[in-house]
Amino acid sequence: MRYLLSACVLVLSVVSTSAQAALDGAWTFTMTSPMGSVDAKVELKADGDALKGTFEVNGASWPIEQGSIKGDRIAFVLQRPGASMTYEMQGTVKADAIAGQAQAMGATVDWTMTKAR
């Protein structure tokens, strides 16, 4: 019984670590809202259960804040530089794609990211 439990813990930790490692690297972000379309180059880095990185939007760099990873779910906050606008982002990772929702100013909008090749 102890062997079976140890094996399950090992398998789960390997799966979690590989899912986090799959986040590392360059991504292409797309979001369409009533205010227009946003495309960004994104760099992600998993650090344990923390998600770090940056968004490059129209030549401006937006750091990821309060980033977290829980299984296949990610969450983070973006503060728009030069404006008092905060985006609360959540998404689900599936291989080389992430689909999620952004919340800002009372609105919710879908977004996607694909791993850059």
pLDDT per residue of the chain (117 residues) written in tens, 0 to 9: 554 333 333 334 334 444 555 899 999 999 998 778 999 999 999 999 999 999 999 899 999 999 999 999 999 999 987 778 899 999 999 989 999 999 998 899 999 999 998
What pLDDT is attached to residue 11?
38
The size of the chain, in residues, is: 117
Cα 100–102–104 angle (5° rounding)? Answer: 170
CA distances from 95 to 18, 99, 101, 104, 108 (A): 11, 11, 18, 27, 24
Predicted confidence at residue 40, as pLDDT, reads 95
**Regarding the domain delimited by 2-115, which CATH topology (the fold level of the hierarchy) does it fall under?**
Lipocalin (2.40.128)
Can you give the pLDDT at residue 5?
A: 37
**pLDDT value, residue 117:** 81
CA atoms within 13 A on the CB side of 19: 18
Going from N- to C-terminal start, the domains of the chain cover: 2-115
- Cα separation, 101 vs 8, in Å, equals 32
Instruction: Please name every residue paired with 102 in a beta bridge, in sequence order, or none if there are none.
Output: 89, 109
Q: pTM for this structure?
A: 0.79
CA nearest neighbour of 93 among 114, 78, 109, 62? 114
The one-letter amino acid code at 91 reads G
